[in-house]
C-alpha cells in the first residue's frame, strides 16, 4: 500500500526558516543516514513506543512491516538524533513518503538536555497502517516479504544491530528478531 505524504509534509513549514533542526530517527533513519548532517547523538523521545505496525518493504499481495511510533504514556523510544539543515527536508520527505508525516517533538539527549525537533510518524489514519499482530506473526510476515526498497528481514536485522551497537534494548524489536532467527533455522 502506498500513500504519498510529500505534499502534506511540505505544508509543515515550522522549521523551514531555522538554520538547523534536530531530527529523531527510530527506524531505518538510525541505520541508514543517507543525508548530510551537522552532528548526531543518541537520543530518546518520551511517550512513544516503536512498533512494526506500518506497511513497507513488501508488495500489494504480501505487505511488509516496518516501524512507526505509537503513543503510549510513560514509554520511551530510543534512537539517533541528527542535526540537519532544512534543505534536507526534501530528501527526507521523499524517502519517508509512504505514509510518514513530520511531527514536532521534544528530543532528549543522553546528557539530559533536550531540544525541540521533528520525527516522521505513520499514524493509524494512514492507509498503509497495518496495526498490531503477535511478534511471531510479524516475524513470519517479515521473513517472506520484499519490495523495491529491499528485503524486509534486512530492515529488521539492521535495526536490531544498530540498536545493539548503541547499547539500547527494545523487547519488541529483539523479540521479533528472535522469532525470525528461529524461522530461518527451521528451513
Under rule CB under 6 A, residue 25 binds ligand SIN: yes
Active site residues: 96
Specify the pairing of strand 114-121 against strand 21-25: parallel
CB 12 within 8 A of CB 29: no
Q: Pick the binder of ligand SIN from 5, 9, 22, 29 (CB under 6 A).
A: 29
Q: Pick the binder of ligand SIN from 21, 43, 45, 66 (CB under 6 A).
A: 66
52 vs 139, beta carbon nearer ligand SIN? 52
25 vs 117, beta carbon nearer ligand SIN? 25
Q: What number of chain residues touch ligand SIN (CB under 6 A)?
A: 9
Under rule CB under 6 A, residue 67 binds ligand SIN: yes
DSSP string, 111-151: TS-EEEEEEEE--TTSTTB-----HHHHHHHHHT-EETTEE
32 vs 178, beta carbon nearer ligand SIN? 32
**Which residues, in sequence order, are bridge partners of residue 116?**
106
SS3 76: strand
Q: How far is the CB of 186 from ligand SIN (least distance, A)?
A: 27
Q: How far is the CB of 122 from ligand SIN (least distance, A)?
A: 8
Which residues 6+ apart lie within 8 Å of 170 measured at CB? 50, 78, 163
SS3 22: strand
Q: How far is the CB of 185 from ligand SIN (least distance, A)?
A: 26
Under rule CB under 6 A, residue 26 binds ligand SIN: yes
| Rounded Cα gap, residues 121 and 127, in angstroms | 13
Q: Pick the binder of ligand SIN from 15, 48, 82, 120 (CB under 6 A).
A: 120
Under rule CB under 6 A, residue 96 binds ligand SIN: yes
Which residues, numbered 150-179, are part of the site for ligand SIN (CB under 6 A)? none
* Residue of 180, 146, 144, 185 lying closest to 161 (CA atoms): 180
Binding site for ligand SIN (CB under 6 A): 25-29, 66-67, 96, 120
Amino acid at each position: 500500500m502506498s500513500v504519498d505524504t510529500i505534499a502534506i509534509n511540505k505544508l509543515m513549514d515550522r522549521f523551514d526558516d531555522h538554520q538547523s533542526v534536530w531530527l529523531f530517527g527510530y527506524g531505518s533513519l538510525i541505520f541508514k543516514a543517507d543525508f548530510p548532517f551537522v552532528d548526531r547523538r543518541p537520543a530518546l523521545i518520551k511517550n512513544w513506543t516503536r512498533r512494526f505496525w506500518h506497511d513497507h518493504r513488501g508488495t500489494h499481495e504480501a505487505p511488509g512491516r516496518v516501524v512507526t511510533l505509537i503513543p503510549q504514556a510513560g514509554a520511551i523510544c530510543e534512537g539517533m538524533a541528527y542535526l540537519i539543515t532544512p534543505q534536507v527536508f526534501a530528501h527526507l520527505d521523499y524517502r519517508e513518503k509512504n505514509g510518514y508525516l513530520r511531527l514536532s517533538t521534544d528530543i532528549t539527549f543522553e546528557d539530559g538536555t533536550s531540544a525541540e525537533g521533528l520525527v516522521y510518524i505513520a499514524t493509524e489514519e494512514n492507509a498503509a497502517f497495518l496495526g498490531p499482530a503477535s511478534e511471531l506473526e510479524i516475524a513470519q510476515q517479515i521473513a517472506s516479504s520484499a519490495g523495491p526498497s529491499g528485503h524486509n528481514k534486512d530492515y529488521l536485522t539492521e535495526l536490531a544491530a544498530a540498536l545493539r551497537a548503541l547499547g539500547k534494548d527494545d523487547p519488541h524489536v529483539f523479540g521479533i528478531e528472535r522469532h525470525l532467527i528461529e524461522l530461518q533455522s527451521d528451513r
